[in-house]
Amino acid sequence: MALLSPAPTSHLAQKTAYHPRIVIVGGGFGGLYTALYLQKYRHLKGASITLIEPRERFLFTPLLYEVLTEELLLWEVAPAYHSLLAGTNIKWQQDWAEHIDLERQRITLRQGDRFNYDYLVVATGAKTRQLPIPGINKHALTFRSLDDVVTVKARLDQLSQASYPVAVTVIGAGASGVELAAKVADRLGRNAQVRLVDRGAQILSPFPQGLRHQAMTALRQRNVELHLQTHINQVGPDTVHLNNVELPSHLTLWATGTEPVPWSGTPVNTNDYGQVLVRPTLQLEDYFNVFVVGDVAAQQKTVPNTAQAAYQGAAAVASSLAKMTRQKQPKRFSYLHLGDMLALGKGTGGVWSFGISLGGKLGGIIRRAVYIHRLPTNHHRFKVARRALGQIGRALWPFKQQ
């Protein structure tokens, strides 16, 4: 195997066109953004780029909570691949990759199709980790996929009509749990008691103090009950058992524990968590034409499993692919932590960046603007921004419509 690239050198010598076959498995932040970043490189215009992704729609996870409070619509946070990829040279293959054969440089899909590649990018992400809590799979709802969002929203719509006091339990006081608790409290209002449960001693443990403080304030303002250092023993249809005490819970949300989607094919080395070991360039250890990016990659300790890290990794991988197809060295991926942002209720948020922290409505506006800027493709970004500006305009217009 060539050290840098499988590109035939003869085409360079003869100046004939070279059309590398680039296959990308997984169309999330790592995979979709790699494919889109590749569009920037003119010499790759003739490349064959195939994106293998089974879902119909890309999911912009940081903005999913806004769907629960109807601040954003489904099409805004989950644009369809066919519209995102229109006008590009990216071919979307809607299927699961079942087997990666690193020796033959070939991917086999669930429906039986096969794709040979010169370069491969694997970005299959993470999934919910099973927890050994009786009843959790049956009675608690997760919040990761588009189906989850639709199911949770429908349940909240039902509960908002309830004639009895509603109890909601959110399991896990990490970013997702805190954001869910605050949004659910705003969605259901005074008729609901939201509780946030974690076995740890504090919420948002890896986050900066300023942001944690804003989150605590937002939860307190919404009367969210905090149950820290608390064990969940069982989840029932309308109950939870916390430290062996049964409490009512008409909706139990499970926002904790992920694990990487397992690698399937030629065996590769992984860390204890199951993430694939990669070089600092995100290349696979023994296969230099294979990159692994996003949550499924075991990167340096300072790189978190976040969308922010995945799309920065995607830019680095696209740049390395552009270099390698010109017989140049790939670049080391160096992650720059730009900050942290949280949705802390309807219209409000917390932002922390380079030591500065902002909260409340201003934090909410900045967070939304940053994420709209991060949406894939200019066309989609423009459509979402136009609707957001319309909403702001209507809110500021002094004459209320009758």
Ligand X SMILES: Cc1cc2nc3c(=O)[nH]c(=O)nc-3n(C[C@H](O)[C@H](O)[C@H](O)COP(=O)(O)OP(=O)(O)OC[C@H]3O[C@@H](n4cnc5c(N)ncnc54)[C@H](O)[C@@H]3O)c2cc1C
The residues of the shown chain that bind ligand X, judged by CB under 6 A, are: 25-31, 52-55, 61-62, 64, 96-97, 123-125, 143-144, 176, 261, 294-296, 305-308, 310
The distance from CA 197 to its chain's CA centroid, rounded to whole angstroms, is: 23
Rounded Cα distance between 384 and 57, Å, is: 16
Q: By C-beta, is 276 or 307 nearer to ligand X?
A: 307
Q: Which residue is nearest to ligand X (CB)?
A: 28
Q: By C-beta, is 176 or 377 nearer to ligand X?
A: 176
Question: SS3 for 208?
Answer: coil
Nearest distance from C-beta of residue 15 to ligand X, angstroms: 36
Nearest distance from C-beta of residue 204 to ligand X, angstroms: 12
DSSP character string of 59-92: --GGGTHHHHTTSS-HHHHS-BHHHHTTTSSEEE
Q: By C-beta, is 193 or 308 nearer to ligand X?
A: 308
Q: By C-beta, is 76 or 295 nearer to ligand X?
A: 295
Nearest distance from C-beta of residue 64 to ligand X, angstroms: 5
Please, are residues 298 and 309 in contact by the beta-carbon 8 Å criterion? no
Nearest distance from C-beta of residue 283 to ligand X, angstroms: 16
Question: SS3 for 42?
Answer: helix
Question: Residue 341, Cβ neighbours under 10 Å: how many?
Answer: 24
Q: By C-beta, is 33 or 288 nearer to ligand X?
A: 33
HSE-CB of 263 using CA atoms within 13 angstroms: 24
Q: By C-beta, is 20 or 376 nearer to ligand X?
A: 376
DSSP character string of 113-178: -EEE-SEEEE---EEEPP---TTHHHHEEE-SSHHHHHHHHHHHHHHTT-SS-EEEEEE--SHHHH
Nearest distance from C-beta of residue 136 to ligand X, angstroms: 17
Nearest distance from C-beta of residue 203 to ligand X, angstroms: 15
Nearest distance from C-beta of residue 366 to ligand X, angstroms: 13
Rounded Cα distance between 375 and 390, Å, is: 18
Q: By C-beta, is 121 or 167 nearer to ligand X?
A: 121
